Amino acid sequence: MADPKPEAAARVAELRKLINHHNYRYYVLDSPEISDAEYDRLLRELQALEQQYPDLVTPDSPTQRVGAAPVAAFGVVEHRLPLLSLANAFSNEELMAWHKRLKNQAPDADFDFVAETKMDGLAVAITYVDGLLTTGATRGDGFRGENITQNLKTIRSIPLSVPRDAAPPSFEVRGEVFMSKASFKKLNEERAREGQALFANPRNAAAGSVRQLDPRITSQRQLDIYVYALGWSEGRQMPDNHWDTMQYLKSLGFKVNHDNRLCQSIAEVEEFHKDIAEKREGLPYETDGIVAKVNSFPLQERLGFVAREPRWAIAYKFPPMQATTRLTGIGINVGRTGSLNPFAIMEPVLVGGVTVSRAALHNEDYIRQKDLRIGDWVIVQRAGDVIPEIVGPVVSRRTGSERPFVMPTRCPVCGADAVRPEGEAMSRCSNAACPAQA
């Protein structure tokens, strides 16, 4: 009887090729060619053959995305090149000031730029050797990150292997792992039904999901990735600019954001920022700004770095998203130093995808300067798209029933006198034995 293994090996190779193709169509191009049922049938056939012939299993098989055992803790990965932070611009004037600095440093250069949406997720570095994904790590402190290789393998938009004849022998890509708005909504609905704590926003959900010690949990979270840079490469001549490099990575099977744009001038970068800001709410992912990068690699090298930031790139943030709600009260927290810290109590309101009902008010002078009154309609924003803050009252909506805030003269925790030392902004509990100061 003929040995069935050569026939099985050929079918396994064919199935892997088919499944990888359909993974790419579905998870990268968002353009599936077959039904979910047909995809599942192909995957089950491959699983059955690999169970029958275990020596045919390879590290880049689609069946190996899920199944690694939980770990007790993440290992540490030393980044070959650091993952640096970016300087921020919050206005067109600051963007133009950055451009002026570039021109001053390289007055003879012709600048073009790549403008990209700034993803609100978790930065990762992924290494490939001889066509296979070997290591994946978080950004960490920029120099060392956590080894999350098995978790990243569960994300279907990350290729487990790339064509060896088209890729460098070894290289690293950098990307942002994120959770789409739709997946975030679905996840929180499931957690609500199960009585679990809800995630505050898609970024927290993505970061928490990718750092699970059990890859099987990560695999259930519908994470995605956009690759935004080539970290380093060896053994192959690469393009000399960022835009062509990203097109090359796309040809290898990596997911690159199609919203990104090649800009011939800083004015086009400004226009890109405006375009993305206008359609921000309708995008399937969270973004808090754009990133502008000098396109030319030789020019990037010439411009260099300052501290831990490249001079050739900048994050141009969007203005904080705002909403209006009612200030129903002002509460007091007593800190460990005895300080009485006022905070706003508001009717819950959605700001930038997060429900906000509390905001710090810092001290009595802060409240007076903003002329906040209990019962006011107030404008709320998330500073840096993270921390809730009250911008100010909507004075035109006052009815006369609003009440000025009066700082308590006694500690709300122990009842001792609250005093405000001369020259200080904070009132403090006078009782050193106050439970809040323990």
Asked if 266 and 95 touch (Cβ cutoff 8 Å), the reply is: yes
Question: Does the domain spanning 76-317 belong to CATH 3.40.50.2000?
Answer: no
pLDDT at res. 90: 86
The per-residue DSSP string of 80-123 comes to SS-----EEE-SHHHHHHHHHHHHHH-TT----EEEEEEE-SEE
- Contact status, residue 436 vs residue 334, Cβ threshold 8 Å: yes
- Looking at residue 1, its pLDDT comes to 37
Please give the share of the chain, as a percent, with pLDDT higher than 90. Answer: 67
> What is the pLDDT confidence band of residue 423, given thresholds at 50, 70 and 90?
confident
Which residues make Cβ contacts (< 8 Å) with residue 294, sequence separation at least 6?
102, 111, 112, 113, 242, 300, 303, 312, 313
Which has more pLDDT, 281 or 229?
Answer: 229
Mean pLDDT for all residues in the chain: 91
- Is pLDDT of 353 > 70? no
Q: What is the CATH number of domain 5-64?
A: 1.10.287.610
Q: Is 118 a catalytic residue?
A: yes
Q: Which residue has the higher pLDDT, 136 or 349?
A: 136
* Mean pLDDT computed over 22-39: 81
Q: Which of 123-127, 185-189, 211-215 has the highest mean pLDDT?
A: 123-127
Residue 401's pLDDT is 96
pLDDT at 72: 78
Q: Which of 118, 153, 255, 293 is catalytic?
A: 118
Q: Looking at residue 2, what is its pLDDT?
A: 45
Look-up of token digits 């921000």: 280
pLDDT digits (tens, 9 = 90+) for 44-91: 899 899 889 999 998 888 888 865 666 678 899 999 999 988 999 989
CA dist list (Å): 206 to 37, 195, 324, 373: 27, 20, 28, 38
Higher pLDDT pick, 336 / 307: 336
Report the range of poorest mean pLDDT among 166-170, 274-278, 394-398.
Answer: 394-398
Q: Which has the closest alpha carbon to 112: 296, 341, 321?
A: 296
Give the H/E segment covering residue 234: strand 223-234
- Tell how many helices (H) and how many strands (E) occur in the chain: 11, 22
Q: Where are the domains of the chain?
A: 5-64, 76-317, 322-437
0.85 exceeded by pTM: no
Q: Which two tokens stand for residue 48?
A: 């059955």
CB atoms within 10 A of CB 343: 15
Q: SS3 of 33, please? A: coil
Separation between Cα atoms, residue 428 and residue 122, nearest integer Å: 40
Which stretch of 161-165, 191-195, 240-244, 377-381 has the lowest confidence by average pLDDT? Answer: 191-195
Cα 103 to chain centroid distance, Å, stands at 31
**Which CATH architecture group holds 322-437?**
Beta Barrel (2.40)
Question: Of all helices (H) and strands (E), which one includes residue 359?
Answer: strand 354-360
Identify residue 351 by its one-letter amino acid code.
Answer: V
In this structure, of 160-169, 200-209, 271-280, the range with the lowest mean pLDDT score is 200-209
- So what's the pLDDT on residue 384? 61
How buried is 6 (Cβ within 10 angstroms: 0-12 exposed, 13-18 middle, 19+ buried)?
exposed
Q: Is the pLDDT of residue 99 over 60?
A: yes
